[in-house]
A and B are shown apart, each in its own frame.
Chain A
Amino acid sequence: MRAAPFRYVRPTTLEEAIGELAGDPEGARVLAGGQSLVPALNSRAATPRTVVDIKSVPGLRTLAVADGTARIGALSTHRDLQQWSPPGGPASGRLRLLAAAAASIGYEPIRVRGTIGGSVAHADPRAEWCVVAALLDAELVLLGPTGVRAVPASDFFLGRHLTAVQPGELLVEVRVAAGEGRAAIVKHGHQPSDIGLVCVAASATVTDGAVTSFKIAVGGIADRPVRLDAVERQLEGSSSTVTFADVADLCAQSVQPIEDAVATAGYRTRLVRALSQKATQAVLSAPVPAMRVEVLR
């Protein structure tokens, strides 16, 4: 199948890019790595009037940590993030999740093209970057004709392939607060590099045997990534001798996954139980291996 006709532009400045998007708010689509948009164009799931290729806009691919915040350019490829060692040592422990999540996405030919901005803007509820953004309370920085605004992840994902990006706006940066502690991502798919039917990411800090911080986010069970607030509240401040199976049960009890042709709600719940147990074990047990991504077979 061949894409429907469109006009293609490749702006070389941010102003030009915003101008193109604002000039045709309903008919212009952003092309970054193309790993999601191009197949959508080819199948005609997407039929824009104009495709705005932003890969020639400078300054959107930087990776830096400043004032305790990781600033990730939207055009950073998954491979860029896989290879990034954020500065900061143990104080930035949870940023090591970025490389682990990036490494789990697809295969290298996908990772050299696909971008974090594209993945987040595409808002597949199962996507690794969407779950990571929800877990780490990322801020999504949007630039539009009226200026720049930062939207917290909790307000950014509004539905399947639906985000807070307004017509004419461009996602330019993902910001994540550096923080100590451990984080892990675990997903289940037929192959290790599949997007995963269900994806769980967790982060924790343990001080003097008490869980001072525990966060857990799940993708693939709803139309957007979900934070398990109730589980987080129960665990934070509790003794770290809680069993991982108990945590897994809590997680399974706190979700009501979607049911569709791919899997039943019950199957997804079983995956939540199994994956949350692994993720919790990864962030709470000591000694703990370095950030790892595991896939159930």
Chain B
Amino acid sequence: MTASVAGSPERTAIAMTVNGRTVHCDIEPRRSLIDVLRRDLGLTGTLVGCETGACGSCTVLADGAAVRSCLMLAVEAAGSELLTVEGLSTGPGLTPLQTAFADHHALQCGACTPGMLMLATQLLADEPDASEHRIREAVSANLCRCTGYATIIQAIVAAQGQLDG
């Protein structure tokens, strides 16, 4: 997606859509996407883990694809549609996926949870009938130190069943 980006090392103007709303930022191009999401837009649901792209806790959706926001400059997201964990539920309650995570003990410390939710959101959107093997493969992209992954996979399978209904 081509979008105009213009500015200086001190300030470069970009526009992007975040959780359905257009936002305009005037930022240094050296800022990472996760840094701008958290500090400038107050969306602290996306967590910083390793800052090197190894853990996936920074995962957001950019134009429908799960990406590591620590491996993107914010200016690269100009013109893109971003979805963060805050954008999953558009009402006061939790989505079936989020409820399934809670019900199946798919989180303990919660550090991997926003990233896992975003991975699951993309997978179930693109492959609603994904096999358990596919689900297992998808969540292996992100590190979880607490759950051993089994309950995360169970939660996603359960949410899959609910979305089918």
Contacts and interface: CB of A to CB of B under 8 A. Distances in A.
B35 interface: yes
Band of interface residues on A: 20 to 34
A55 B76 contact: yes
> Which 7 residue pairs spanning A and B have beta carbons closest together?
A8-B29, A107-B141, A3-B30, A5-B9, A112-B65, A109-B66, A56-B2
Nearest to A40: B52
Contacts of B73: 8, 31, 34, 38, 41, 51
B60 to A, nearest CB: 10
B56 A109 contact: yes
Nearest to B30: A3
Contact of A107 (B12, B32, B56, B75): B56
Contacts of A35: 53, 68, 71
A286 B140 CA distance: 33
Nearest to A47: B30
Nearest to B73: A38
Interface of A: 1-8, 10, 12, 31, 34-35, 38-39, 41-43, 51, 53, 55-56, 107-110, 112-113, 191, 193
B70 interface: yes
A166 B56 CA distance: 34
Interface of B: 2, 5, 7-10, 12, 28-32, 35, 51-53, 56, 59, 65-68, 70-73, 75-76, 119, 138, 140-141
B141 A42 contact: no
B31 A2 contact: yes
19 contacts: A2-B30, A2-B31, A3-B30, A5-B10, A7-B8, A8-B9, A31-B73, A34-B71, A35-B71, A38-B73, A41-B30, A51-B29, A53-B75, A108-B138, A109-B56, A109-B59, A109-B65, A109-B119, A112-B67
Most buried by A among B7, B29, B65, B119: B29
A31 B32 CA distance: 14
Given A1-B51, A8-B5, A38-B73, A113 B30 contact: no
A9 to B, nearest CB: 8
A178 to B, nearest CB: 30
A112 B65 CA distance: 7
Nearest to A8: B29
Contact of A5 (B5, B30, B70): B30
Nearest to B53: A39
B12 A8 contact: yes
Given A31-B73, A41-B73, A109-B68, 16 more contacts: A2-B32, A3-B31, A5-B30, A6-B9, A8-B7, A34-B71, A38-B53, A38-B71, A38-B72, A39-B51, A51-B29, A107-B56, A107-B140, A109-B66, A110-B71, A112-B67
Nearest to A192: B140
Contacts of B71: 34-35, 38-39, 110, 113
A154 B73 CA distance: 33
